């Protein structure tokens, strides 16, 4: 919808998000705003911007669709371009009023990681078996179906994969690499452990059920997806319609991809 002044509601939301990010920047100590000294200019550790945002960095461990830590992930840390991290802080402040918290699964992703994902999809002998992430699909088709891409906004530091968790909720059971967990699109109790609100699928579930507006999920699951999507949109993020967990921040996108590894703070 466009107002009589010629400015759409979406444009107004983005402008408001930019103002909120600028205001947050003024509140941060200079050293924290810069983040780790080893990072390329403009990147920060999310912990230095908002340590209250939970981090569950899946590609630094075995609980992911490849089944092992991926190249470039030398630490369980979320890195982002600074305006993106500041915008997440604004979302976190909003959700905290509802006793909820963001939890990030992936942030900046080295280009070498993207290449490793593509190579895995083309390797029929890759182990272990992680078919719970692509139920009913052939792994060789994941690239063609658009679930895995050769380039990613994550490598530009302007995309984030995340969910919502209760602030006072119990911690999830430890992940067991030897367990036989059920489909990522199956019932919550059968999936790998996570403390996320039930969104209808787990993170990185290659299924049409992961489409943000998929019609087969329950009303409660849909409402939780909209809660996340709307909170993120109010602060300048855009959701990818095929993945309820994936958001990009166009205002900070320089279109430059990076390949530096993720190191400890």
> Considering the domain boundaries, does residue 175 fall inside one?
no
> Considering the domain boundaries, does residue 112 fall inside one?
yes
> Considering the domain boundaries, does residue 78 fall inside one?
yes
CATH number of 93's domain: 3.30.1380.10
Instruction: Quote the pTM value.
Output: 0.86
pLDDT at 19: 52
Distance, in Å, from the CA atom of 124 to the CA atom of 127, rounded to the nearest integer, reads 9
pLDDT at 151: 92
Instruction: Please count the structural domains in the chain.
Output: 1
Give the structural domain span for 103.
Answer: 9-167+183-252
Distance, in Å, from the CA atom of 243 to the CA atom of 152, rounded to the nearest integer, reads 14
> Considering the domain boundaries, does residue 260 fall inside one?
no
pLDDT in tens, the chain (265 residues): 443 344 444 444 444 444 544 444 444 433 333 344 489 999 999 999 999 999 999 999 999 999 999 999 999 999 999 999 999 999 999 999 999 999 999 999 999 999 999 999 999 999 999 999 999 999 999 988 889 988 999 999 999 999 999 999 999 999 999 999 999 999 999 999 999 999 999 999 999 999 999 999 999 999 999 999 999 999 999 999 999 999 999 999 999 999 999 999 9
> Considering the domain boundaries, does residue 172 fall inside one?
no
Phi, psi of 254 (to 5 degrees): -95, 0
> Considering the domain boundaries, does residue 42 fall inside one?
yes
> Considering the domain boundaries, does residue 259 fall inside one?
no
Distance, in Å, from the CA atom of 22 to the CA atom of 234, rounded to the nearest integer, reads 15
> Considering the domain boundaries, does residue 65 fall inside one?
yes
């Amino acid at each position: 919808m466009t107002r009589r002044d010629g400015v759409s509601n979406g444009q107004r939301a983005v402008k408001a998000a930019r103002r909120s990010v600028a205001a947050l920047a003024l509140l941060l100590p200079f050293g924290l705003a810069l983040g780790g000294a080893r990072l390329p200019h403009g990147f920060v550790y999310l912990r230095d911007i908002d340590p209250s945002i939970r981090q569950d960095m899946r590609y630094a461990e075995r609980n992911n669709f490849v089944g092992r830590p991926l190249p470039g992930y030398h630490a369980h840390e979320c890195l982002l371009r600074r305006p993106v991290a500041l915008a997440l802080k604004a979302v976190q402040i909003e959700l905290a009023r509802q006793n909820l918290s963001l939890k990030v699964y992936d942030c900046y992703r080295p280009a070498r990681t993207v290449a490793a994902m593509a190579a895995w999809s083309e390797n029929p002998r890759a182990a272990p078996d992680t078919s719970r992430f692509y139920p009913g699909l052939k792994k060789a088709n994941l690239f063609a179906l658009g679930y895995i891409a050769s380039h990613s906004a994550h490598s530009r530091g302007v995309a984030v994969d995340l969910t919502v968790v209760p602030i006072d909720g119990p911690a999830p059971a430890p992940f067991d690499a030897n367990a036989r967990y059920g489909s990522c699109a199956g019932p919550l109790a059968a999936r790998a452990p996570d403390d996320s609100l039930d969104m209808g699928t787990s993170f990185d579930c290659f299924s049409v059920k992961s489409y943000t507006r998929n019609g087969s999920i329950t009303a409660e699951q849909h409402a939780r997806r909209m809660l996340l999507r709307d909170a993120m949109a109010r602060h300048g993020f855009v959701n990818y319609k095929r993945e309820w967990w994936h958001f990009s921040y166009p205002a900070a996108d320089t279109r430059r991809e990076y390949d530096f590894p993720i190191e400890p703070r």
